[in-house]
Chain A
Amino acid sequence: MTSMGTTGFEITVNIVKTLLVFLMMVQAVPILVWLERRGSAFIQNRFGPNRVGPLGLVQLLADAVKFLHKEDFVPDKANRFLFYAAPVFALIPASVAYMAIPMSVPLILGESKFLIQGFDINVGIVFILGISSLAAYTILMAGWGSGSKFSLMGAMRASAQIISYELALGLSIVGVIMTYGSFNLTEMINAQMGALSFSGFGYGTTIPWLPNWGIFYQPIGAIIFFAAAFAESNRLPFDLAEGEAELVAGFHTEYGGFKMLMFFIGEYGHMMIASGLLATFYFGGYLIPGITPDEVYQFGLGTFGSEAAAHIFNSVAHFLMYNVKFALFLWIFIHVRWTLPRFRYDQLMDLGWKTMLPWALGNTIVTSIVIFCAAYFKF
């Protein structure tokens, strides 16, 4: 338990912080749902929710109240334990995995140092991949527990899709790990500090107007990771888990009310993990382009004159930067959903196994050859 702090003050702050990160995630879901409905409406040239509260912002609160008043329905054929356990377990993988993503520079208050993330894990990538792929069990629990053949078939499809794209996702990260030589997300972000600089054939070039982001080293890996993340979170164009004509609502056909809402929190949680990881791996995480955290700290020190205020300013500035990138990727997730048509199931599996997996493999091989040759032939 030493990681939670040594003094009572540190332990208390760390526990409160962990809860805050979780509540932030849960609270982000209504905003995202609102953004999705509102954004889709504008993309399709209609209004969307605009009656309840300003701009329809209170719509989701009204929805939650409605969900609470729905009667609690379990079909006779259902396995009651699995039926109730599935929505609860849907919350866990997404939330626990999101805790491991660093959101800002550590906040230093006097002797204590607080990380702006749930917990710092030295094998961050492995932890996040391991925990978030437990979502496949949730889907199977819901599908089998419902006792309906639509649920079961939807669950089979969804889990087969998730595990197929997990291969491409896992393999696209190997290039990232090789580039940074670390599993730790904070170390990866620190490696992306400064201006972009390449060196080759005895010459070195620095491009001062570009940040040293991972996407310039791993462009193909970034594309594969991004596409696989859509499939992992069951979003369109890969939302084969549900289909009005063939599968009704997929694995949550029998669910309604608050249990349904919990599946949604899980799904949006996976979108948030994907956005956070995309920002961390390829877009410098919480770093502000062109400015190092130390310069931000010095600026804060000059402006506010006290160290504590400068540290708080530093953390808040980077937290805002992280959220800008995070929100941008979440918006891309939403925009893609309302732009692209969906795949057929065999096309989906072909794309995962026969296109993305070989490309990810090629990316790994090319990355390792470049690193190897750069070290041995000094070019």
Chain B
Amino acid sequence: MPLGGVIFITLFIAVFGVILIYLARAIGGVAKRTSAAKMEIYECGIEEIEKKDTKVSVKFYLTAILFILFDIEIIFMYPWAVNFRDFIATGSGVAVFSSMMVFLAIFIYGLWWEIKSKALEWD
């Protein structure tokens, strides 16, 4: 793994970004506090509303949980997919293929159940 290169460029980009922000701050200057209303967050012409009150639909949470479940299952297929031809070549193809089909059946059942239980309905 070219870890050195990855770390180097990540740090470089981070420093690059920080420099850009400071450059813009140095040239453009910090916003002058001419009135209290200027420093408020965007609102459609009325008094600003407290952030802590913002309610977010629980569907987003459900989507995230389902994503984690399915994404782990998909990531599990990657090592299987990359070695599939090697397994066939060494003669253990039937076992590897059938076990993945069982796994996929569980995956499909999970997806079907999730759709049937209306976990993915947005209204």
Query: Are A and B part of the same complex?
Result: yes
Q: A349 in the interface, Cβ–Cβ < 8 Å? A: yes
Contact A71 B28 (CB under 8 A): yes
Complex Cα spacing A354 to B120, Å: 9
Which A residue sits closest to B98, measured CB to CB?
Answer: A372
Contact B4 A3 (CB under 8 A): yes
B residues near A167, Cβ cutoff 8 Å: 67, 70-71, 74
A142-194 residues with Cβ-Cβ distance < 8 A to B are 146-153, 156-157, 159-160, 163-164, 166-167, 170-171, 174-175, 177-178, 181-183
**Contacts A69-B28, A167-B70, A174-B77 known; A96 to B10 CB distance under 8 Å?**
yes
Q: B104 in the interface, Cβ–Cβ < 8 Å? A: yes
**Contact size range, A:** 35 or more
Q: A126 in the interface, Cβ–Cβ < 8 Å? A: yes
Which B residue sits closest to A67, measured CB to CB?
Answer: B24
Residue interface mask B52-96, A partner, CB < 8 A = 1: 001011011001100100110011011001111110110001100
Residues of B within 8 Å of A, CB-based: how many?
Answer: 70
Distance of B21 from chain A, by nearest CB (Å): 6
Contact B93 A71 (CB under 8 A): no
Contact A4 B2 (CB under 8 A): yes
Q: B20 in the interface, Cβ–Cβ < 8 Å? A: yes
The DSSP consensus for interface residues of chain A is helix
B residues near A232, Cβ cutoff 8 Å: none
Complex Cα spacing A265 to B1, Å: 27
Contact A120 B2 (CB under 8 A): yes
Q: B106 in the interface, Cβ–Cβ < 8 Å? A: no
B residues near A119, Cβ cutoff 8 Å: 2, 5-6
Which A residue sits closest to B84, measured CB to CB?
Answer: A178
Contact pick for A3, options B5, B9, B12, CB 8 Å: B5
Contact B21 A76 (CB under 8 A): no
Contact A72 B28 (CB under 8 A): yes
A71-97 residues with Cβ-Cβ distance < 8 A to B are 71-78, 84, 87-89, 91-92, 95-96
Which A residue sits closest to B5, measured CB to CB?
Answer: A119
Which B residue sits closest to A362, measured CB to CB?
Answer: B108
Contact pick for A345, options B3, B29, B75, B122, CB 8 Å: B122
B residues near A225, Cβ cutoff 8 Å: none
Complex Cα spacing A174 to B86, Å: 16
**Central interface residue in A71, A118, A175, by most chain B CB within 10 Å:** A71
Contact pick for B104, options A88, A346, A357, A361, CB 8 Å: A361
B residues near A74, Cβ cutoff 8 Å: 31
Distance of B20 from chain A, by nearest CB (Å): 6
Q: A259 in the interface, Cβ–Cβ < 8 Å? A: yes
Contact A177 B82 (CB under 8 A): yes
Q: A40 in the interface, Cβ–Cβ < 8 Å? A: no
A residues near B74, Cβ cutoff 8 Å: 167, 170-171, 174
A residues near B6, Cβ cutoff 8 Å: 96, 99, 119
Contact B84 A146 (CB under 8 A): no
Which B residue sits closest to A70, measured CB to CB?
Answer: B28
B96-119 residues with Cβ-Cβ distance < 8 A to A are 97, 100-101, 104, 107-108, 111, 115
Which A residue sits closest to B1, measured CB to CB?
Answer: A121
Residue interface mask B14-28, A partner, CB < 8 A = 1: 101110110111011
Q: A353 in the interface, Cβ–Cβ < 8 Å? A: yes
A225-267 residues with Cβ-Cβ distance < 8 A to B are 248, 253-254, 257-259, 262
A52-81 residues with Cβ-Cβ distance < 8 A to B are 67-78
A residues near B104, Cβ cutoff 8 Å: 361, 364-365
Distance of A131 from chain B, by nearest CB (Å): 9
B residues near A175, Cβ cutoff 8 Å: 81
Q: A350 in the interface, Cβ–Cβ < 8 Å? A: yes
Distance of B14 from chain A, by nearest CB (Å): 6
**Contacts A88-B14, A358-B111, A368-B97 known; A163 to B63 CB distance under 8 Å?**
yes
Contact pick for A72, options B24, B42, B82, CB 8 Å: B24
Contact B17 A88 (CB under 8 A): yes
The 6 closest A-B pairs by CB, nearest first: A88-B17, A346-B122, A3-B2, A258-B24, A119-B2, A148-B41
Tell me the B residues contacting A by CB distance below 8 Å: 1-6, 8-10, 12-14, 16-18, 20-21, 23-25, 27-32, 39-43, 48-49, 51, 54, 56-57, 59-60, 63-64, 67, 70-71, 74-75, 77-78, 81-86, 88-89, 93-94, 97, 100-101, 104, 107-108, 111, 115, 120-123
23 contacts between A and B (CB under 8 A): A1-B4, A18-B5, A19-B12, A68-B28, A71-B30, A73-B31, A77-B48, A84-B21, A89-B14, A91-B17, A92-B14, A96-B9, A99-B9, A118-B5, A148-B43, A149-B54, A160-B59, A160-B63, A164-B67, A177-B78, A361-B111, A364-B81, A368-B81
